[in-house]
Amino acid sequence: MKKIINSVEFILLKGNKILVEKRKLTKRIDPGLLCIPGGGIEKNETKEQALIRECKEEFGINITEYSFITQLPYEHVEVDFLLNYFVVTNWEGKIKNLEAEKLIWIDKDNPKELDLEVDKKAIKALNKLK
């Protein structure tokens, strides 16, 4: 049985645009793919605490408004993930690229550029909420 990793994925929303990342080619999981950024939930950490920490680590921002969207499974060759998607609608600080190859704003109503089907499902769930 493969290990299951619990993680948070964060959709930064500005107007009709969402922030996605092109993953570095050196990443073990999904190198070079265009996807919604995220990170693992650490031991004794809630989903919300992980979300706040990861946004600070990856973008250098303090998030002030966010909502849970959905939880989706993602099967990978090495491990399986349980992805907890959040939408972030307000933050303090200027977004910096601290971990990705590059950051790109895309249209939330047309997420076809995303490489992972699970991310496209999360965007559909987000669009149903708005």
Q: What is the pLDDT of residues 63-88, one digit of tens each?
A: 999 999 999 999 988 789 999 999 99
Rounded-to-10 torsion of CA 57, 48, 120, 104: -30
Spatial separation of the C-alpha atoms in residues 52 and 120, rounded to whole Å? 23
Q: Name the residue with tokens 């993680």.
A: 7
Cβ–Cβ < 8 Å for 62, 68: no
Residue range 94-112, pLDDT digits in tens: 999 999 999 999 999 988 8
The whole model's pTM is what? 0.94
Residue 57 CB coordination number (10 Å): 11
Task: Write down all domains in the chain, each with its CATH number in brackets.
Answer: 4-129 (3.90.79.10)
Neighbours of 16 (CB within 10 A): 12
Contact 79, 2 (CB under 8 A): yes
